[in-house]
Structure 1
């Protein structure tokens, strides 16, 4: 829908690849949150349906980095941006999102950055 709306506003190209990746990641995040709520409510069939949808959406994303690959990248980015404490977390996350859009789970990356800077 967003791509169609962008084209309707005169943008013949529609959404950029980064915007599409961000949209897909948001869709996955929403479904993960729904899974938690469904599981808490005992609605396992709905949780399963959401998990299946995540699987379909993930097919459109580039391969995600492993935990070890993320750790290496995070260490490098923290050094590059000069992050030293939690108040520098925004700089580190901004650099990660700019350089690695669609390649990692940013919720996990955020927890790893917080652990390193905390």
Structure 2
């Protein structure tokens, strides 16, 4: 499946289009090379497609299921219970949102400090 995904011209075309739309790379830049680099980084190269992702799944420890008392954190690849996967998605989504809220607050504080400094000069 990953080899098919890595060699999919449709996937590469969609990624190139997204790169152009978001303006992430400058006009005139080789979007094909950028798209290929992103796909190789996330999915893996065509001959080793999926290896990086599978290794990541095998080694990533996650929060145990709610109510489960265990000293050892389960690996993401070992997690097959849908309820636990839903809990993980909710937990890590909230964790990411909290991180984004903190960054927003830090940015607002930095901007407020910048305005104060600029006014005193």
Considering the TM-score relative to the shorter chain, is it more than 0.5?
no
After TM superposition, the score normalised by the length of structure 2 is: 0.23
Which protein shows a greater Rg?
2
TM-score by length of 1: 0.23
User: Could you say which structure has the greater relative contact order, defined with CA pairs below 8 angstroms and 6 or more residues apart?
Assistant: 1
